[in-house]
Amino acid sequence: MPADDLAAGIAELDELLARLSRGDTALRATVNSENDIFSGLKTHINQLAEYIQETNDYSHEMAIGLCENYEILSRIAHGDFSARVTMDSKNEVIAKLGELINLEADSLTSTIFRVKQTEEANQTQLQFSRVLLDTIPNPIFYKDTNCRYLGCNKAFEAYVGISQDELIGKTPHELWPKELAESYRQQDLEMLENPGTQLYETTVRFADGCLRDVIFNKATFNESDGSLGGLVCVVLDITERKRTEEAVAFQNILLSTQQEASIDGILVVDETAKIISFNHRFVEIMGIPSQLLESREDEPVLQYVTARMVDPESFLEKVRYLYEHKHESSRDEISLCDGKTLDRYTVPLLGADGRYYGRLWSFRDITDRKSAEDDVKNAYQQLMDIVEFLPDATFVVDKEKRVIAWNRAIEKLTGLEKNEVIGKGDYVYAIPFYGKPRPILIDLLDEDKEIESHNYTLIKKEGRTLFTEAFVPSFRKGDSRYFWATASPLLDKNGNKVGAIESIRDITEYKQAEEERLRLESRLHHARMIESFMIRLGHDLRTPLTPLTILLPLIRKQVVDPDLLKLVDICCKSAVSMKKLADKAQLLGSLATEIKTGELECVTLASLVELSLADSADIMAQKNISCKNEVAPDIVVNVITDQIKETFANLISNAVHFSLENGVIRIDAKQHNGTVTVSVQDNGIGLHPGILEHIFDEFFKADESRHDLDAPGLGLTICKRIVSNHHGRIWAESPGLGKGTTIKFTINEKDDNSRIYEKEQ
Amino acid sequence: MDAKVMLVDDDKMILEAVELFFKSEGIRILTAASGQKCLDFLAEGFRGVILMDVMMPDMDGWDTIRKIVENDLYVGNIIVMLTALGTPDNKMDGLQEYVTDYVTKPFNTTNLLSSLQYYLAILQAEKSGTTAHIK
């Protein structure tokens, strides 16, 4: 029983008793309800009051009786239901009253007990419900039929951030934003009109003020009397679920967009080989009709694609293999009949637990790349062919120093064939040169620091290229050889080293020739020095000779002593010889300059010989030597007339000098292919074969005496210089000592266009 | 100044030898040991045949000819060059028109003498107004 009701009942009884004790018998207690616990007592007081009114005579006794039991009544009225009236009164009225009071107290005591029992049971039930509600994690609230909140659980308090005390008795409009509240009210009203259950999505303002997506699961409840009591609602927060759903949707969009944006054709099949998805590019690359793909069956698509392959059998075989070996990936190049080349890549779709969900096929059109690769391969092959046919011994190594090219020339040079070196590293290329593997020039390319000599007689660097000259003491276990080598790194377009090339040339012959050339050059230089000195000497002799040649004849005129005269004659002759020597030396000097084309004249050779013979008539006469000019009169030569005359003068003088008395000199000429070979033959002392080559050297004399003042020893040297200036050749022939000598030289015949110039006499 | 021949040479032995030779032939010559001496003789009035050595120190034969021309001393003279090499050199460019003959050292005295007599005859003829040609 509610304590308030008890207190109200006690207060009312107290009031009634007070009025009654003051004699107000007109008082009447109001009986409110069946549940009024003091209703019986109130009725008794009402009866007592009526009885006192009716039996006015006993008013005094009544008042005494009342007073006697007043205290007990008061105790009962104040809740002491154990109070009992003493039943020993002699006054009948009072006794009757006491009996009634005791009966009422007993009844009251039992009623109170029952009420208390019920009250406790209700409290327990209520407590359980409360705990149960608070234990449920979902927010729960309930409302009465006026849509006012009756209560909620702790989850709801936490969810909306409002305590139950603040909530109870409030309408949605007092708590929530207008639109939300209105929506709630509409839904509530609809439900109250049609009791039962209701499920719908809506939003709720969360404790932090944000709106969250929820599902309201609502049901109506009835009072004990069966009337509609209100509604209860369980709230299910679906914000996270919605977010997850949106994320999944986004992922799907992302994937499909990626698939469509891919330059590769993509086909995805599930574990039963049914097509899950494919992109536009796949259709385009394979040229598949759209109706084939609509069926989503892999088999017809596979058949169609297989038919387009250059090698359908192996294509199909590989596909079957991969469908059987679900966990394998594969990458292959496949060729289509239309000329396309595809890079096919396939991977299984595997879950984190390894479960097979299907397979992804990716096809990339690499036709252009392939074509470019082929071009590169062709270019590479061409380069290799070029290397192969290079005249110099050449080899190429890759980045790891493995030989990738070994050309014919190096095979020939080293005796090592391609199959013995190609693909090999570890300085295999050095073995033929040094008999063992060791670094050679190509290996020095890697050294950034200044290159040390490394046993090379010469090494230099131009840009990235190294040059060296190497001496190999025992090449192929044989002769020593000189090699000239160049090595250069091979770089890719980014400047990274991808290999190196070395070319080796055997320069042994060249070196020998070069050494010979240097030796000859040195000799030539020496000869020029001597010649220069000689010319200078010849020039300088002229000045002191001048007084000698002037004065000696003057002296001779005044000498009368025959012996002295002989001595003076020797001096005169010596002076003349010195003058001749000076003249020859001077001539030799003048011949040092080359002939210019304009200086050449066309003359008949026979007339030139005649002139020369006339000049030499005196010296020939001294020895009674006859000379025969056998030169054909029609031979015309292109020469400097004075020089060829000088040549003949020298050759005749020479022939006379080495002829015996009454000797014969023959001069002849032969034509051959525009060249005239002239010969001056004597039947004199002849030449030893060993000196034939030396007779044209400066100051060489066949008799080696060098004391013969008539022959200065420069005559043949002058002839050689003149013939050489005319681009001809001069040489001597002799069958041996005592068998005469023939000097031959060549000169050019006249050109057809040349002007024939007959020397005027 | 009655000498009609002048020899210009820096070599004293040549000067003396040639002078002796011409003397033995009855010809008096002037000897000049340098180009400057030659110019001095010309300035003093010498006119005749000048035998001029090419190679001389300080002022060589060609320099001397240039000075002779510049000083208007050429007219009435014949110049014969005495050369050791016998080949003309670069310095003669523009001056060779003043040179009548070249004689190579060592010279043949007989030939030189006859040439000299020929040139002297020409000079004599020019002086007397007779037309003469130099070959």
From A68-82, A332-346, A620-634, the region with the lowest mean pLDDT: A68-82
Contact B106 A548 (CB under 8 A): yes
* Same-domain status, A42 and A60: yes
| Chain A contact set for B24 (CB, 8 A) | 554, 557
* The residue to which tokens 């060296």 are assigned: A468
| Chain A contact set for B20 (CB, 8 A) | 550-551, 554
* Same-domain status, A602 and A724: yes
Close Cβ partners of A435 (under 8 Å, ≥ 6 residues apart): A474, A477
User: Which comes out higher in pLDDT, residue A531 or A444?
Assistant: A444
Structural domain includes residue A635:
yes
From A2-16, A155-169, A428-442, A711-725, the region with the lowest mean pLDDT: A2-16
CATH of the domain at A695: 3.30.565.10
CATH of the domain at A444: 3.30.450.20
* B positions 57-116 inside 8 Å of A (CB): 84-87, 104-109
* Same-domain status, A619 and A671: yes
- Where a domain ends, among A84, A119, A154? A119
Structural domain includes residue A684:
yes
Contact assessment for residue A489 and residue A497, using Cβ atoms and an 8 Å cutoff:
yes
Mean pLDDT value across residues A73-84: 74
* Same-domain status, A614 and A653: yes
Contact A586 B85 (CB under 8 A): yes
- Where a domain ends, among A365, A395, A417? A365
Contact B106 A546 (CB under 8 A): yes
Residue to mutate among B9, B15, B16, B21, with most A CBs inside 10 A, is B21
| Chain B contact set for A544 (CB, 8 A) | 13
A26 pLDDT more than 90: no
In degrees and rounded to multiples of 5, residue B109 shows phi and psi of -60, -35
A250 pLDDT more than 60: yes
Structural domain includes residue A562:
no
In degrees and rounded to multiples of 5, residue B30 shows phi and psi of -95, 135
Structural domain includes residue A651:
yes
Shortest distance between the Cα of A703 and any Cα of chain B, in A, equals 29
- Residues A54, A56, A58: CA angle, nearest 5 degrees: 110
pLDDT in tens, A624-634: 998 889 999 99
Contact A539 B85 (CB under 8 A): yes
Contact B105 A542 (CB under 8 A): yes
Chain A residue nearest residue B87, CA to CA: A590
Shortest distance between the Cα of A580 and any Cα of chain B, in A, equals 10
Contact B105 A551 (CB under 8 A): no
In this predicted structure, what is the pLDDT of residue A182?
Answer: 92
Chain A residue nearest residue B22, CA to CA: A550
Q: How many CB pairs under 8 A join A and B?
A: 52
Range from A15-24, A66-75, A275-284, A593-602 that averages highest in pLDDT: A275-284
pLDDT in tens, A537-580: 777 778 888 888 888 888 888 898 888 988 888 888 888 888 87
pLDDT in tens, A459-496: 888 888 888 888 888 887 778 888 899 999 998 888 88
* Same-domain status, A22 and A114: yes
Domain count, chain A: 5
Contact B14 A548 (CB under 8 A): no
Shortest distance between the Cα of A527 and any Cα of chain B, in A, equals 21
Shortest distance between the Cα of B57 and any Cα of chain A, in A, equals 14
- State the CATH architecture for B5-127: 3-Layer(aba) Sandwich (3.40)
Residue to mutate among B109, B111, B112, with most A CBs inside 10 A, is B109
Looking at the complex, does the CB of residue B11 fall below 8 Å from at least one CB of chain A? yes
Chain B residue nearest residue A545, CA to CA: B106
Contact B20 A550 (CB under 8 A): yes
A36 pLDDT more than 60: yes
A707 pLDDT more than 50: no
pLDDT in tens, A733-748: 988 888 899 999 999 8
Per-residue pLDDT band for A706 (boundaries 50, 70, 90) equals very low
Structural domain includes residue A70:
yes
pTM greater than 0.95 (yes/no): no
In this predicted structure, what is the pLDDT of residue A709?
Answer: 47
Shortest distance between the Cα of A550 and any Cα of chain B, in A, equals 6
Peptide bond into B106 cis (omega under 30): yes
* Same-domain status, A25 and A165: no
* Same-domain status, A282 and A147: no
By Cβ distance, the residue of B18, B84, B104 closest to A550 is B18
Q: For residues A466-479, b (16+ Cβ closer than 10 Å) or e, as one string?
A: bbbbbebeebeeee
Mean pLDDT value across residues A380-387: 88
- Where a domain ends, among A491, A506, A521? A506
A170: closest CA among A180, A181, A183?
A: A181
Domain region containing A160: 136-237
* Same-domain status, A353 and A275: yes
Mean pLDDT value across residues A78-88: 73
B34 pLDDT more than 70: yes
ipTM over 0.85: no
CB < 8 Å & 24+ apart, contacts of A365-374 = A365/A265, A365/A285, A365/A340, A365/A341, A366/A333, A366/A341, A366/A342, A367/A339, A367/A340, A367/A341, A370/A333, A370/A341
By Cβ distance, the residue of A539, A540, A547 closest to B17 is A547
Structural domain includes residue A522:
no
* Same-domain status, A167 and A292: no
pLDDT in tens, A229-244: 899 999 999 988 888 9
* Same-domain status, A335 and A459: no
